[in-house]
């Protein structure tokens, strides 16, 4: 692995350098048009389109097994799982569930000055879907990150889908993790056609309210399109994975190198960055990583000091941010933009990918500036419950009526006036809207 060398002269150049670093990974080609065609096909033909597209894109022409996975298949997959893998998944599921539950807020109620009450209620969606990608290997950890979090959020029905392989089936580790995590339904389908089935519904697949999870560019584009159409909520657009490691003087370069290499394992479009004011540490990283033949693109950036390193990290807004060494670790309270922050030499991102309890479905491509990692919040929404006693209506109405009439909404004004008790008077007749 060869990483480019860069220098940040001052914090003022952090944003420009962050943009240059992002450009080291080329943007993916647009698949908007073919994805739109797949969505339309599934919407029109339902199961038949999903099965045909699965045969074409996933099973290599082999006949797919039924879309829905039976519960006895899930139980058999869990029973046949390697005991050590099962034990690891159980640890991960427990920790993910505890952390996910922290994102479920208590309901709060305020009594306002005029006597009305407003309660903010936390309400989970009824039905949510977790997409688990296929590819080079199964990802049972992604099953846990999505399903366990949705269950902790209180979702009534948690659906999981994953593309089948050439044998027409989903990998047993995926099925076992789905059973362990408590998925309500599991479907053998992937790609844009799976997103379409989840959004529109088919003869076999009932539509959902939210779709989360990583996937290919086609999957992410499909999620974007069905979300833009107002059909479902999504967690975000998952792009190439990245990590930025800030090293203090004397930090353990061997550990940093392992973490950069681990991130590069995600694929050739992974972006890995190391930042330090210590040129010796960067030289050691460069020498060590040049000797390994692994994918990934990135850079080694020297800064004047740790403050400039922090400025670059906040401008880059990495999916994963590591702070290694006492001085770097002291920066943690000042970090503002990161999908997940790992503090200390033992805080490898790999722990977060599996068993730390934090979620590994994180904002990518700099979206950590405004987006959050997958949490219970993605499966819940806030609803205000308003109660206005008679006395409060009488004192609130004049203010509301004045605003409504200033905006030209006469019936709004009358609606509020009608709630005000009038001594000895019947309800007045509705007045016609004033001419516009």
The 10 Å Cβ neighbour count of residue 115 is 16
Distant-in-sequence, close-in-space partners of 79: CB < 8 Å, separation ≥ 6: none
Q: Are the CB atoms for 409 and 416 separated by under 8 Å?
A: no
pLDDT for the residue numbered 295: 73
Q: Kindly state whether residue 62 falls inside one of the protein's structural domains.
A: yes
Share of the chain above pLDDT 90, in %: 83
Name which residue leads in pLDDT, 423 or 134: 134
| Together in a domain, 78 and 192 | yes
Q: Please give the Cα distance from 412 to 433 (Å, whole number).
A: 10
How many domains in the chain? 3
Does residue 322 share a domain with residue 351?
yes
What CA dihedral angle connects 411, 412, 418 and 420, to 10 degrees? Answer: -150
Tell me, yes or no, whether 107 and 65 share the same domain: yes
Segments forming the whole domain that contains residue 229:
46-234+377-382
Within a domain: residue 27? no
54 and 96 fall within a common domain = yes
Q: How much of the chain exceeds pLDDT 70, in percent?
A: 96
Whether 160 and 107 have beta carbons less than 8 Å apart is answered as no
Helix residue spans in 182-231 (DSSP H): 191-200, 217-228
Residue 349: predicted pLDDT: 94
For residues 202 and 58, membership in a common domain is answered with: yes
Active-site residue, 166 included:
no
Alpha-carbon gap, residue 326 to 405, rounded angstroms: 62
426 has a pLDDT exceeding 70: no
- What gap in Å lies between CA 301 and CA 278, rounded to an integer? 10
Is 263 among the annotated ligand-binding positions?
yes
Question: How does DSSP classify residue 68?
Answer: B
Domain CATH number, residue 321? 3.40.50.1980
Over residues 327-353, the pLDDT tens digits come to 999 999 999 999 999 999 998 999 999
Query: Which residues are within 8 A (CB) of 24 and not within 5 positions of it... i.e. 6 or more apart?
Result: 4, 271, 297, 298, 299
Which residue shows structure tokens 């789905």? 178
Residues 67 and 209 in one domain: yes
pTM (predicted TM-score):
0.91
Instruction: Identify whether residues 148 and 193 lie together within a single domain.
Output: yes
* Alpha-carbon gap, residue 171 to 177, rounded angstroms: 10
- Whether 121 shows a pLDDT value over 70: the answer reads yes
Written as six digits, the tokens of 136 are 């080079």
Residues 365 and 428 placed together within one structural domain of the fold: no
241 is in an annotated binding site: yes
| Secondary structure class of 44 (helix, strand, coil) | helix
- What pLDDT digit, counting tens, does each position of 189-235 carry? 999 999 999 999 999 999 999 999 999 999 999 999 999 999 999 99
pLDDT band at 433 (very low <50, low <70, confident <90, very high): low
Residue 250, pLDDT score: 85
Is residue 319 annotated as part of the catalytic site, yes or no? yes
Answer yes or no: is 39 within a domain: no
Spot the catalytic one: 320, 322, 360, 378.
320
Q: What is the pLDDT of residue 435?
A: 47
Tell whether 31 is covered by a domain.
no
Position 29 in a domain: no
Instruction: Tell me, yes or no, whether 81 and 18 share the same domain.
Output: no
Q: Is 220 annotated as a binding residue?
A: no
Quote the tokens at residue 427. 């309800």
Residue ranges in 291-422 assigned as alpha helix (H): 306-316, 326-329, 349-354, 390-406, 410-417
Q: Of 370, 397, 414, which residue sits at a domain end? A: 370
Mean pLDDT of the chain: 93
Q: Which residues of 28-38 are buried (b: 16+ CB within 10 A; e: fewer)?
A: eeebeeebeeb
Distance between CA 367 and CA 338 in Å, rounded?
9
Local confidence band at 162 (pLDDT 50, 70, 90 cut-offs): very high
Is 356 inside any structural domain? yes
Structure confidence at residue 297 as a pLDDT band (50, 70, 90): confident
- Can you give the pLDDT at residue 436? 46
Asked whether residue 317 falls in the same domain as residue 225, the answer is no
174 located within any domain: yes
Residues 6+ apart with CB under 8 A from 376: 100, 101, 102, 103, 104, 149, 152, 153, 154
- Selected catalytic residue, list 221, 319, 322, 417: 319
* Residue 38 maps to a domain: no
Q: Cα–Cα distance between 334 and 328 in angstroms, integer?
A: 11
CA–CA separation, 21 and 299 (whole Å):
7
Q: Is 412 annotated as a binding residue?
A: yes
Do 163 and 270 fall into the same domain?
no
Of the three residues 382, 405, 421, the one that is the final residue of a domain is 382
Residues 60 and 177 in one domain: yes
Residue 266 in marked binding region: yes
């Amino acid at each position: 692995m060869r990483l480019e060398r860069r220098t940040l002269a001052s914090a003022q150049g952090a944003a420009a350098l962050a943009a240059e670093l992002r450009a080291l990974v080329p943007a993916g080609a647009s698949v908007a048009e073919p994805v739109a065609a797949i969505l339309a096909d599934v919407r029109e033909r339902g199961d038949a389109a999903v099965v045909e597209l699965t045969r074409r894109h996933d099973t290599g022409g082999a006949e797919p097994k039924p879309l829905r996975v039976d519960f006895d298949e899930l139980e058999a997959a869990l029973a046949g799982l390697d005991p050590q893998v099962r034990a690891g998944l159980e640890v991960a599921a427990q920790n993910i569930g505890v952390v996910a539950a922290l994102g479920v807020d208590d309901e709060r109620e305020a009594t306002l000055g005029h006597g009305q009450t407003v309660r903010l209620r936390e309400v989970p969606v009824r039905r949510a879907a977790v997409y688990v990608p296929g590819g080079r290997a199964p990802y049972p950890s992604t099953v846990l990150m999505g399903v366990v979090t949705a269950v902790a959020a209180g979702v009534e029905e948690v659906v999981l889908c994953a593309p089948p392989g050439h044998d027409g089936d989903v990998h047993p580790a995926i099925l076992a993790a789905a059973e362990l995590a408590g998925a309500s339904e599991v479907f053998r389908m992937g790609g844009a056609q799976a997103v379409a089935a989840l959004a529109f519904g088919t003869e076999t697949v009932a539509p959902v309210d939210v779709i989360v999870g990583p996937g290919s560019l086609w999957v992410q584009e499909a999620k974007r399109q069905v979300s833009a159409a107002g059909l479902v909520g999504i967690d975000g657009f998952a792009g190439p994975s990245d990590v930025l490691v800030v090293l203090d003087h004397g930090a353990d370069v061997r550990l940093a190198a392992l973490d950069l290499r681990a991130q590069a394992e995600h694929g050739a479009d992974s972006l890995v960055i190391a930042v330090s004011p210590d040129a010796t540490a960067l030289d050691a990283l460069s020498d060590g990583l040049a000797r390994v033949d692994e994918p990934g693109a990135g850079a080694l950036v020297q800064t004047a000091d740790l403050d400039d390193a922090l400025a670059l990290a906040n401008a880059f807004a990495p999916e994963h941010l590591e702070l290694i060494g006492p001085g770097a670790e002291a920066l943690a309270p000042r970090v503002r933009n990161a999908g997940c922050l790992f503090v200390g030499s033992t805080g490898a991102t790999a722990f977060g990918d599996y068993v730390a309890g934090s979620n590994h479905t994180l904002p990518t491509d700099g979206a950590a500036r405004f987006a959050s990692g997958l949490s219970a919040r993605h499966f819940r929404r806030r609803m205000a419950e308003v109660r206005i006693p008679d006395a409060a209506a009488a004192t609130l109405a004049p203010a509301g009526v004045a605003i409504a009439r200033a905006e030209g909404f006469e019936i709004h004004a009358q609606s509020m006036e009608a709630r005000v008790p009038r001594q000895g008077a019947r309800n007045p007749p509705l007045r016609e809207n004033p001419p516009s």
